[in-house]
Amino acid sequence: MSMHEQIRNFIQDNLVVFDDEVEFSNEDNIFELGFVNSLFAMKLVTYIESEFNTTIESDEMDINNFNTIDNIVNFISSKTVYQ
């Protein structure tokens, strides 16, 4: 499974709307779409840390790192490169 699919599956597991109402691209802002609740951002941080065996530092807790699937994947990839 690609990282994009993995992240998409995690988002879909945490939707606050019914699956059949949901359609979003890799570039869509998942927070602005209203498909996830207000706590999801932190849940996503915890998921990324455990699933990709990394630590997200304070200065990386920027909402722009987590608002689209593309941005999340780019962020994880950049961390993996530096590790």
Partner 1 sequence: MIYTTKNTGAVFNWDEYFMKLKNGEVATLDVESYFHNVRGLLSENAHLLALVLGDVLRKLLKGVQVKPEPRVLELGAGTGFLTRLLLTMYGGSGALVDNCRTSFDAYNRIKDKSGDRITYQLEDLFALKVTEPFDMVCSFGLIEHFKEKQKILSIHKEHCRPDGHMILIVPMDSFLTRAYYEVHPEINLGYRELLTKKTALEQIQASGLQPVRAEVSQGYVYDFLAVLCKG
Contacts of residue 30, defined as CB under 8 A and 6 or more positions apart, other chains included, come to 11, 24, 36, 40, 67, 68, 69
The CA distances from residue 35 to 8, 19, 47, 60, 69, in Å, are 12, 10, 18, 23, 13
Q: State which residue, 5 or 62, has the beta carbon closest to partner 1.
A: 62
Q: State which residue, 3 or 15, has the beta carbon closest to partner 1.
A: 15
How far is residue 23's CA from residue 83's CA, in Å, rounded to a whole number? 34
**Minimum Å distance from CB 43 to partner 1?**
6
Work out whether 66 is an interface residue with partner 1 (CB under 8 A): yes
Residues 2-61 that bind partner 1 (CB under 8 A): 16, 31, 37-43, 45-46, 58, 61
Question: Could you list the residues that contact partner 1 (CB under 8 A)?
Answer: 16, 31, 37-43, 45-46, 58, 61-63, 66
